[in-house]
Amino acid sequence: MPLIANNPNRKSWLNVPKDSDFPIQNIPFGVFITKDDVVTIGTRIGDNAIDLGALQQLNYFEGIELTDDMFMQDTLNDFISDGKKTWRLVRNRIAELFDINNAKLKDNEAHREVVIFNIEDVEMQLPVLIGDYTDFYSSKEHATNVGMMFRDPENALLPNWLHLPVGYHGRSSTIVPSGIPVHRPLGQTLPNGESKPVFGPSKLVDFELEMAFITTDANVMGETIPVEEAEEHIFGLVLFNDWSARDIQKWEYVPLGPFLAKNFASSMSPWIVTLDALEPFRTKGPEQDPQPMEYLQQQGEHAFDIKLQVAIEPEDSEETIVSNSNFKYMYWSMSQQLAHHTINGCRINSGDLMGSGTISGPTPDSFGSMLELSWGGKNPVKLNDGSERKFINDGDTVIMRGHCENDTIRIGFGEVCSKLLPPFIKHK
């Protein structure tokens, strides 16, 4: 199935602002509510939200085998279940429909009116019903930095880290789309130098700069996914802010790992950019030494060159960019993560979400969390308004952005942006 949707020379009859993350070569998938309160699956070109349910009703997907209500649903799970062949046929058809040389929809004003909305006039939803959420820990720089601070600078990486993609099972119930504010969590912490824990609001709320991939139904229980087939089961990627409470984490994580410090909120960008759209931005990942075991060995390029950025915007003030990282720094590839995840026969479903783990680069300005940027609070980060941050303050908005670019195109994710609110208080 050729990826004609990726043709870098194609132009759309829809306006695409310069430096937009959403040229006609992107064609991401999401779910939105229109002004008339209709929930639909959609895509985006420039600042236009396109209603795929309306397009399907108007027969623009004729010839592609789809169930009648495929795009009139409130999640992408069924579409993702249909598999890569269907994703490609649909992206290719959308590319053709909005091609500058195709007048079919362009010249039909009545159809355009029910299909195309201004992005400002729709409300983005969570694009998939996330059954299971797994979070990896696959940036060597991040794992090393955290190991140095939490444990032992001499032996920062634990002995298993270079042999397998370390991960844990999170919760999907508190994953929210961009724009939804998040409350500072309450919990137990052990103050420095004390022997008894105390209870109260976390004092060390942090972001984690991550990307996450969304899977299709990849296997049956007991079946493993070979590393070289893993990408067939990856629908696409989103930006992911995996909010964390470092003081709660430090006290609770022994011996079973992350729990309440991690599951109070994770925020994701609303448009799933397909792995197909990212094809031109493949690159080689870091050299792996020692060589991984056979079931994790892979040939070719399986990392993706995605520039990532984090900004903090205090209440009533301008934003400050605090980190510039890149998805290509990940030591373990998504294919290796998925192959490892299923090596024991664990079942993967359509709409499962796999977080990369915090993506830190090699230099201090590319670290993916405040824990690392302020080095455990020792070196506060200066913001443009003159204030300083060791961690995130109430009222701060954390914004993450990501895009790929080469000489001809730019494919982006938009942003995931969420504000930290004071602890939740139930009004009586």
Question: Of 336 and 358, which has the nearer Cβ to Ca ion?
Answer: 358
For residues 75 and 128, is the Cβ–Cβ distance under 8 A? yes
3: Cβ–Cβ under 8 A, 6 or more apart, which residues?
88, 91, 92, 276, 279
For residues 274 and 87, is the Cβ–Cβ distance under 8 A? yes
- Alpha-helical regions (H) of 116-245: 140-150
> Is 135 annotated as contributing to ligand binding?
yes
* β strands within 273-380, DSSP E: 273-274, 282-283, 303-304, 307-313, 320-326, 353-355
CA 253 to CA 327: how far, in whole Å? 26
Question: Of 26 and 244, which has the nearer Cβ to Ca ion?
Answer: 244
> Is 154 annotated as contributing to ligand binding?
no
Given 111, 142, 183, 340, which residue is catalytic? 142
> Is 194 annotated as contributing to ligand binding?
no
> Is 172 annotated as contributing to ligand binding?
no
- Burial label for 171, CB within 10 Å (0-12, 13-18, 19+), is middle
Helix (H, G, I), strand (E, B) or coil at 182: strand
Q: Please report how close the Cβ of residue 370 comes to Ca ion at its closest, in angstroms.
A: 13
Q: Please report how close the Cβ of residue 371 comes to Ca ion at its closest, in angstroms.
A: 11
> Is 374 annotated as contributing to ligand binding?
no
Q: Please report how close the Cβ of residue 230 comes to Ca ion at its closest, in angstroms.
A: 21
Query: Residue 142 catalytic?
Result: yes
Question: Of 256 and 425, which has the nearer Cβ to Ca ion?
Answer: 256
For residues 95 and 30, is the Cβ–Cβ distance under 8 A? no
Question: Of 82 and 242, which has the nearer Cβ to Ca ion?
Answer: 242
**Residues in the site for Ca ion, rule: CB under 5 A?**
135, 208, 242
> Is 266 annotated as contributing to ligand binding?
yes
For residues 14 and 48, is the Cβ–Cβ distance under 8 A? yes
Question: Of 21 and 210, which has the nearer Cβ to Ca ion?
Answer: 210
The neighbour count for residue 253, using CB atoms within 10 Å, is 16
Catalytic residues: 142
Question: Which residues belong to the annotated binding site?
Answer: 135, 137, 151, 208, 210, 242, 249, 253, 262, 266, 358
Question: Which residues belong to the annotated binding site for substrate?
Answer: 137, 151, 249, 253, 358
Question: Which residues belong to the annotated binding site for Mg(2+)?
Answer: 242, 262, 266
